[in-house]
Amino acid sequence: MKEAGVKAWLPSLLRLALVVLLIAFVTNPGWFEPLLKPLTESNAPAIYNQGSLLTLTLLHLRTVLIATVAATIVAVALAILVTRPAGVEFLPLSRSLVNIGQTFPPVAVLALAVPAVGFGEKPTLIALFLYGLLPIFENALTGLTTLPANVVEAARGAGMTGWQRLVKVELPLSAPIILGGIRLSVVISLATATIGSTVAARTLGEVIIAGLLSNNLAFVLQGGLIVAALAVLIYDGLSTIERYTARRMGQETA
């Protein structure tokens, strides 16, 4: 019995430890200097010194958050539009557009957005938005088109209007799948945002690129690890929410 208890708690403990470690690292990176020092050469600094890691982490998260919220609103609205009778003409085309869109490499989107909006955060937001759009749209489409037919019929039979069916039946039922798309999109965005620093956006990519340019492995490692830790934690958190909504919707957890 005791062993089972430990096994059940282990993931939560690991998560907690990772959160504590992450917060400690971005607020007090000095504590970890001895660990990173062996990775540097000829007395280079072991902790990124051209800006605070905490500020960069928050800016990184802010960029990802803005892009994801915008992408979610647009993607879900589009998915709703093409699954209504009025927009059903656009359904096949929107599917092929999503397929085409996924072939654009993020670096290209980023670089091509620069002439239109200038250097800095804006091109990064555009690239993250476009990239985040696709998984959410695809999942929302799957969710809205694979609803159990009897449930939709029942809602219609109960005299619900189109709007009521959408808000009270279709969206809640497809919420877990849509959340899955958002989760995928956030994890991709967290990693892609680092590339934004090649066009002077202030994200954790700045730390990695500074490391690449000055041949300082400690910088590359700390930037990469913070982003990876954020991604793992957020992925995990969103999966939990997803399972919770799926349970509430009476669906089996995948």
Are 242 and 179 spatial neighbours (Cβ–Cβ below 8 Å)? yes
Long-range (24+ apart) CB contacts under 8 A made by 186-189 are 186/64, 186/68, 186/132, 186/231, 186/234, 186/235, 186/238, 187/231, 187/234, 187/235, 188/131, 188/132, 188/135, 189/64, 189/67, 189/68, 189/128, 189/131, 189/132
For another protein, give the closer residue by CB, 15 or 160.
15
Quote the CA–CA distance of 48 and 105 in Å, as a whole number. Answer: 29
For another protein, give the closer residue by CB, 172 or 237.
237
Single-letter amino acid, residue 86: A
Binding residues (CB under 8 A) for another protein: these are 39, 87, 89-90, 92-93, 95-97, 99-100, 102-108, 111-112, 114-115, 187, 190-192, 194-195, 198-199, 204-205, 208-209, 211-212, 217, 220-221, 223-225, 227-228, 231-232, 235
For another protein, give the closer residue by CB, 71 or 184.
184
Single-letter amino acid, residue 79: A
Taking CA atoms, 237 is separated from 121, 216, 230, in Å, by: 26, 32, 10
Are 131 and 110 spatial neighbours (Cβ–Cβ below 8 Å)? no
To another protein, the closest distance from the beta carbon of 249 in angstroms equals: 24
Task: Return the structure tokens found at 106.
Answer: 């993020």
For another protein, give the closer residue by CB, 82 or 169.
82
To another protein, the closest distance from the beta carbon of 202 in angstroms equals: 15
To another protein, the closest distance from the beta carbon of 214 in angstroms equals: 11
For another protein, give the closer residue by CB, 152 or 233.
233
To another protein, the closest distance from the beta carbon of 95 in angstroms equals: 8
For another protein, give the closer residue by CB, 173 or 199.
199
Quote the CA–CA distance of 105 and 112 in Å, as a whole number. Answer: 11
Task: Return the structure tokens found at 78.
Answer: 């589009």
